[in-house]
Amino acid sequence: MCRLFGLHAGAHPVRATFWLLDAPDSLSVQSRREPDGAGIGTYDAAGKPRVAKQPLAAWEDHAFAREARDLKSTTFLAHVRYASTGALTLVNTHPFEQDGRLFAHNGSFEGLQKLDAHLDSLGVLDLVKGQTDSERLFALITAETRKAARDVGIGIGRAVSWIAAELPVFSLNFILTTATDIWSLRYPATHELYILEREPAAVPGPAAPLDARSKRIHSRSTELTRSKHVLFATERMDHDPGWRPLRSGELIHVGPDLAARSTFPFPDAPAHQLTLADLEPHAAESQKP
């Protein structure tokens, strides 16, 4: 299963260090089902997106993801890929960039030929550079956002509603970022996705830095010691009791004020809900926890 991580630090850029393969045990003793790609997206002082990513097709490529990356941004988006569709190439590696936004997806859906025809009718098929369902989902969100006068929330609602009605869906969990905002969706309940709204330390004196760690992604920041921030992740990344799972169909938008605004634009299950048994063996393996 792919790993997602999103961090919103507020209106002012902060420094954070990321490791995209930072497991508690050695890679040498883990399953041979190793990640197929890894990437991290940030924004510079002018709000321009910056993406560092690489397919991890060979063991020596894992050095890219094990390196510590000291980055500065207002929002951060990290992804570790387990491929369900598409070759192990750079164009198929998350995060994707379109119209100055970054996107990473954890899930799988089918009917890509039908979606391609729909994207072509909307004039955005040229946005798709690779073979993944994820990039196509992003292209549909981009098309609908353009039609909605750049309202990303409306774009997400229209795009996901179309896919849920027209295509077989296993999971559409994703995180989408700009320099100022994050949107995160869990739909349907197939995979978990968590949020943590972390308040600054309430007592004077030294406070623990942000140190969020999962089986794959690790983020650490001393600058966030006494600043509010919001985290999204595929799994709880520390022992903070504030972590909560998003509910099925829940879309959360976090702006520069760090208020997490929750809506439920997708109360119903997809019209054609897939299970692991419905997926091709390689796709099914990529979706296992």
pLDDT single digits (tens) 238-283: 999 999 999 999 999 999 999 999 999 999 999 999 998 988 877 7
- Per-residue confidence (pLDDT) for residue 206, from 0 to 100: 64
- Per-residue confidence (pLDDT) for residue 50, from 0 to 100: 98
Q: Residue 95, preceding bond cis, omega within 30 degrees?
A: yes
Output the pTM of the full model: 0.94
Sign of CA dihedral 263, 78, 6, 281: positive
- Per-residue confidence (pLDDT) for residue 203, from 0 to 100: 54
What letter does residue 82 receive in the DSSP assignment?
Answer: -
CB 157 within 8 A of CB 164: no
Q: Which SS3 state, helix, strand or coil, does residue 281 take?
A: helix
Nearest in space to 255 (alpha carbons), one of 46, 10, 12: 10
**Domains along the chain?**
3-286 (3.60.20.10)
> Residue 173 pairs with which residues in a beta bridge?
106
Return d(Cα 90, Cα 111) in angstroms, integer: 23
pLDDT averaged per 10 residues, the chain (length 289):
94 95 49 78 97 85 89 97 88 97 96 98 98 97 98 98 98 98 97 93 67 90 90 94 97 98 96 91 78
Tokens (6 digits) for 272: 């054609």
- Per-residue confidence (pLDDT) for residue 33, from 0 to 100: 59
Measured in whole angstroms, how far is the alpha carbon of residue 30 from the centre of its chain? 24
- Per-residue confidence (pLDDT) for residue 84, from 0 to 100: 87
pLDDT in tens, 34-71: 788 999 999 999 999 999 999 987 777 888 888 999 99
Q: Which SS3 state, helix, strand or coil, does residue 33 take?
A: coil
